[in-house]
Amino acid sequence: MSSYNPRHKIATRTRLSEVRYEIRGELARRARELEGQGRSLIKLNIGNPGAFGFRAPDHLQRAIADHIANTDPYTHQQGLPEAREAIAAFHKARGTPNASPERVFVGNGVSELIDISLRALLNPGEEVLLPSPDYPLWSAATILNDGRPVYYRCDEANGFLPDPDQMEALVSSRTRAIVLINPNNPTGANYPRALLERIVAIAQKHRLLLLVDEIYDGILYDDHVFQPVAPVAGDLPCVTFSGLSKVHRACGWRVGWAVLSGDPMACGDFHHAMDLLGALRLCANVPGQFAIEQALHGTDTITPLCLPGGRLYETRRALIESCAASPHLSLVAPAGALYGFPAVVGDAARGFDDHAFALEMLETEDVLVVPGSSFNVPYRHHFRVTLLPEAEMMREVFARIDRALSRRAEAVTKVVPIKSKSRPAAA
C-alpha cells in the first residue's frame, strides 16, 4: 500500500515569498476572469506594443524570413556571430570602450540576461543598489539569486532622478553592483551626463559593477537626449542591456543582449561566468537574432513615433493634458520610455491605497493599471500606465480615472451630521 497523502503539499522555495511582480500578478488574473465573463477591458499594465496594434518593422520581419532555413541548429551560447558583430559595432560607434563580439551575450530577452548576470555575480547575502521605483524584475532576480536589494530613492520632487550622495551612503562592504534603468521604467526619467558621471565615480571608488538597463534607449520625447553609460564608465566594468522588445516593438521575439565593457582583466572572471551560464541553456532563440543587424543598422522606425504628430508623442500629450486638467492628479512628464507614473493628490489621496484603487478601476471602470507600490516604493499614492494606446483611448482612460477619484474625494470629504441625543424633560 502506498503511503502517499494526496493532501501533502509540495514545498516551494522560501524566498519566493519575497518576490513581487504585480504587472502580471493578482490584478492581471482578475482581469482574465472578467474577460472570461465577457467584459471588454483597457489593459494598461504591460508595455506590450503588439497588443495595441504596433508591428515589428517590415525590414526586421523580412530579415528573419530570409534566413528561416538557417535557424534549426543551436548556435553559439553567446549568440550568432553576425548578430554579435552588429551589436558590437553599434555600441562601438556610440563610444562603448572595448566593444567586441566576444563581449556580447544574446539572450531570450533582457529578462533572461538580467538573471544570468546576477547569478554570475552574487554570493548569498551580497547587496545590489536598485532604484526606487524600479522595474520589479531587477528586485526579483536579486532575491532569487540570494542577494539583497538595497534601494536608493528617486524622488518625485527631483524629477525621479537619484541623489548620488544618498546612493553612496547606502554602499556597504557587501555591495557588489549599482543598477541603473535609463530611460526609466516606470517614471520615464532620463539621466543627464553630469548625474551619470557622479554615479560612475561612486562605482569606481567602491569597485562596483554597473548594471545598466537601456532597453528604452531610442524612446525619448521633446528635446531630451539619451546618454549611454558605458562611454562615461570607461575602464570601469559595466554591463549594458538592450534588445528588440521596445524600440523595435518585437516583444514576442524574445531577443535581448548584454554588452560587457571596461577593463578586460577586471572583467575576465565575470565574462567566463556569464559564458558558462549561457552555455547551460545552450543558446538563445535563433530566428530573432537574424533581425538584429537590420534593427541596429537599418532604418530608424522609432523616432517618428516620438516626434510631434507621432503616435507615442500624442498619447504622451494626452496623458500630460489629462493629468494637468484633473484636480486629483499630479504628473512628472515622462522624458522617455513607454509609461506615465501619476500621483494621486488632494482630497482623493486621503487614506488612498493604490492596490485597492487599481482593483476598483478594474471592477467598476474596466481599466487595468499597475499600483505604484509594485515598483518597490515606500508610498502608496501612485499608479503606472503604458503610453501604447491611441491618444483618444488614453483620454477616455483618464476620464474614467478622474471619475473614480472624484467619487473618492467626495466620499472622504462628505460630512455626516451627528444626530443629537434627546434629553429627558426637566422634572
pLDDT band at residue 120, thresholds of 50, 70 and 90?
Answer: very high
User: Domain 14-54+304-409: what homologous superfamily?
Assistant: Aspartate Aminotransferase, domain 1 (3.90.1150.10)
What residue ranges of the chain are covered by domains with CATH 3.90.1150.10?
Answer: 14-54+304-409
What residue ranges of the chain are covered by domains with CATH 3.40.640.10?
Answer: 58-297
Element (H, E) at 260: strand 256-261
Each residue's pLDDT tens digit, 127-176: 999 999 999 999 999 999 999 999 999 999 999 999 999 999 999 999 99
Q: Is the pLDDT of residue 101 over 80?
A: yes
Q: Is the pLDDT of residue 419 over 80?
A: no
Each residue's pLDDT tens digit, 259-268: 999 999 999 9
Average pLDDT across the chain, whole number? 93
Return d(Cα 112, Cα 236) in angstroms, integer.
23
Return d(Cα 146, Cα 124) in angstroms, integer.
5
By 3-state DSSP, what share of the chain in percent is helix, strand and coil, each rounded to 5? 45, 15, 40
Class of domain 58-297: alpha beta
Q: Any residues with CB less than 8 A from the CB of 180 and at least 6 apart, and which? A: 131, 191, 196, 199, 210, 211, 212, 213, 229
Per cent of the chain over pLDDT 90 is 89
DSSP state of 417: P
Read off the pLDDT of each residue in 173-187 and give the average, rounded to a whole number.
98
pTM above 0.85, yes or no: yes
Return d(Cα 74, Cα 58) in angstroms, integer.
26
Read off the pLDDT of each residue in 341-349 and give the average, rounded to a whole number.
96
Each residue's pLDDT tens digit, 371-415: 999 999 999 999 999 999 999 999 999 999 999 999 999 988 875
pLDDT band at residue 427, thresholds of 50, 70 and 90?
Answer: very low
Q: Which three cell numbers stand for residue 305?
A: 513615433
Distances in Å between the Cα of 188 and the Cα atoms of 114, 148, 290, 332, 409 are 20, 25, 30, 9, 28
